[in-house]
Amino acid sequence: MTPEERIAQLIMIPVYSNKDQAHIDSISTLINKYKVGGLIFFQGGPVRQARMTNRYQRESKIPLMVSIDAEWGLPMRLDSTSRFPYQMALGGIEDEKLIYEMGAEIARHCRRLGIHVNFAPVVDVNNNANNPVIGFRSFGEDKYNVTRKAMAYMRGMQDQKVLANAKHFPGHGDTDVDSHVGLPIINFSKIRLDSVELYPFRQLMKNGLGSLMVAHMNIPVLDNTKNLASTLSKPIVSDLLKRDLGFKGLVFTDALNMQGVAKFYAPGIVDVKALLAGNDMLLNTMDVKTTIQEVKKAIARGEITQAEVDARCRKVLAAKQWLGLDKWKPVEMKNLIEDLNSPYAKYLNEKLVEASLTLLRNKQNILPVQRLDTLKVAALAIGTDKETDFQRGLARYTKVDTFFLTPTTSIAELFALKEKLQKYNLVVAGVHKLNLKAGGSNFGITAEMNLFLKDLIRSQRTIVGVFGNVYSLAYLESLEKADAVIAAYQETATTQDLTAQMIFGGIGAKGKLPVTISNNFRINDGLKTKGGLRFAYTMPEAVGLKTADFAGIDSLVAQAIREKAAPGAEVLVAKDGKVIYQKAFGYHTYEKEKPVQLDNLYDLASITKISTSLAAFMKLKGEGRFDVDRTLGEYLPMMEGSNKADLKYRDILTHQARLKAWIPFWKETVKKNGKFKWSTFKADSSRRFPIKVADNLYMHRKYAQKIYKEIKDSPLNEKPGYVYSDLSFILAPLVVQNITGQDFETYLKKNIYEPIGATTLTFNPYKHFSADRIVPTEHDSLFRKQLLHTTVHDEGAAMLGGVSGHAGLFGTANDLAKLMQLYLNDGTFAGETYISGNTVSEFSKCQFCDQGNYRALGFDRPAKPGAPDSNAAPSAPVESFGHSGFTGTYTWIDPVNKLVYVFLSNRVHPTRENRKLYQLNTRTEALQVVYDAMEKGKKVQQ
């Protein structure tokens, strides 16, 4: 290496992967001509950066040291990469192992992209709330907490062979000037600097810190030269850092184009001054040619020797060897984006966010929210007029109505909003779109927002989640008087989602404030709550499985849609009380106009039997008001004197009571010419014809009695044995009403669905939900002669006004899963018992297996082992149970593996004659994918 090349090894130039070809080529020129030692990448994308890195490494005589600012992961600079929380959020985490894991994962991402140095962690002790440059980038104001977190981050990275970089020496945490735009002056004593600011640096140095960055600050107590930044100060870099503290790692300047130094010295001159001060690497050199010339002049003047330059060059080369650059390999382009966005990284981010969320108020233990059936909930988004991830997260747990308060809301609109909210007994407010820095704007919090929130907190039960810089809490008036306050530190989809989960007890609160915000919110404040009360919404990794092993579900559903077994579907898998897989596929119809969404309602068909009739019977059994060994005639007097009066419910619910399979009731209403009899249906509703069967089709108010009489008079099957029948379930609503005195739907909603938050489980969804949320079923060419949309598919249920115990229930996969989880828990949900006495366990057992009938009481069970086209996945244990629906629905409960599975589709669209979903066995094959994933998980653990 020539003397010039040795100087050039100390130079790191800025590179952008989002700039034009001229910029890309100009970097090549600097590498080829001057042999610079390294690159620092700024904004752009990973694929572009990888291509540039490969080109530049090939062109470089000596492998380049590549660096980046990735304090919260590569997204700090690059699109299409995995982000992690800001350091202030990490400061609120008590488990430092998580931060070590984050450091290791960020390092793996860096290595995958050919990056060797990450300018992190920030070890500045942020004890100035008005700090304009550090703030949320710091771990907090306690030097011990900052040190523990920084140590974990550093070790995680360096164990993966990425050089950590502690910044900004000697401490940038108590400044009120941004060194990007000016030179901060720090008027501390040496005692203060030594005891606070320098503490984390010293501790990291003792534990193998590979590099650090010197800040641009004027510190008179260490060097009183006017307008001289610490970066350019020999007393600070050479004397304090290298001699007194004995730091042997690489010393980087902060960027030399920042105004803290650039406003006082020209490019090239500032670089030489930094070198003379004792720095090893000159970051963001803006004029490579001049810098090399000026260093040579300094050598000639005796200000620095070539030997000193050579020593630093050897130090850089040694670091490159430690980083493996003596065995450089190009960045592999294949699967780059996938590798930088692994499920593990996403799950780790979830764990970090969950551990950071900080509960600061919880009056009367309002969190986690209990007794959903007593609440009317408003979800208020403050700072935006767009539906938020927080609001969507809340809506998974119960019915919430959404409202918005923007910074520009008028006084009149504020009064109108206040009046609307008075109808609710719980308001959950999210504070959104806050500025990252106070900057004279109070983080964007307006007087109107403050006035409204203050009044809201005073007058109503209010839970507040603040999605932004934690210091913003000081600017929200009366916040400490809210019923619950959650500091979420930042606004991402994940923080909002997990905050919603915490409110309803899907996860617990664990975080602690890493800074003092006000007299009301002080450092180390943070209340704890327990999770696991209701569903958590997470990933397979949360239960020891792998996301990749669930890809088979996607493939099976894609195949079903491709082969037109159904136009769309939704699949949900919950394990151990956590929803680990939930996806919507395809469209409502083959016209592909409306994609399936996770909040869409499906016609559940025969799943109605186990979700309505059976739910009611089991609840009543637990209360001693229903007994499966009593008869239909005892519970339904209208059946007395019929051939069904003495049928026992144990036989009825196992479909071996000799009842006919079904009766086509609608055919009795049609004349030979194909038209309806005048006394049955009309096109318009009236007092005599009030019962809606479908659009423009209304049934006579007394016709249901004819249906019940037809069932009563129907003959029993001649031979005993199993015959699946709808008839007893059609009668179930009458039985339940006879026992309880309540109509069927009201009983179910008030006693089961609303308390567990399954508020979309409903008959006649057109009464409660917009049509675009409801998935259509069949084009009925025989009876109703229309596309069935928002009304029930089953003819008998339709003729009963949409309410029956055999069909008619609609709902989302999410809400059906809640009911199935209640069954899995043997009648308990969210700490409350709704079906007592181990009734679900009793009902889900095989009753007559010795007779070849493998059904439970109302529930389906795995058929005889080895039976073809089984109703269950091959690996489903004998203890599992569930049901399928004619429209293409299916749900299965596995108490052995604590598994709930829901598959919803409209395979009958456009015709029930389409049996491809059965032929493909998509529903059970998709469940088998889950069992296969669990089997793989067991082998890994072994």
Distances in Å between the Cα of 586 and the Cα atoms of 147, 570, 597 are 50, 9, 9
813 close to 585: Cβ distance less than 8 angstroms: no
165 close to 212: Cβ distance less than 8 angstroms: yes
27 close to 16: Cβ distance less than 8 angstroms: no
CA distance 183 to 263: 9
Residue-by-residue DSSP string for 372-439: GGG--EEEEEET-SS--HHHHHHHTTS-EEEEEE-TT--HHHHHHHHHHHTT-SEEEEEE-S--SS-T
Mark whether 116 is an active-site residue: no
Exposure of 111 by Cβ count < 10 A (0-12 exposed, 13-18 middle, 19+ buried)? middle
Provide the H-helix boundaries in 323-379.
Answer: 336-339, 343-356
Strand partners, 527: 359
Mark whether 254 is an active-site residue: yes
Cis amide bond preceding 168, omega within 30:
yes
- Count the Cβ atoms, other than its own, within 10 Å of residue 831: 12
CA distance 485 to 457: 11
774 close to 600: Cβ distance less than 8 angstroms: yes
| Backbone angles phi and psi of 81, in degrees to 5 | -135, 170
First to last CA, the chain: 53
Select which of 254, 497, 726, 780 is catalytic.
254
296 close to 3: Cβ distance less than 8 angstroms: yes
406 close to 385: Cβ distance less than 8 angstroms: yes
Strand partners, 465: 430, 486
Select which of 180, 310, 373, 401 is catalytic.
180
| Backbone angles phi and psi of 97, in degrees to 5 | -60, -35
Among 333, 898, 351, which residue's Cα sits nearest to residue 575?
A: 898
86 close to 489: Cβ distance less than 8 angstroms: yes
Active-site annotation, residues: 180, 254
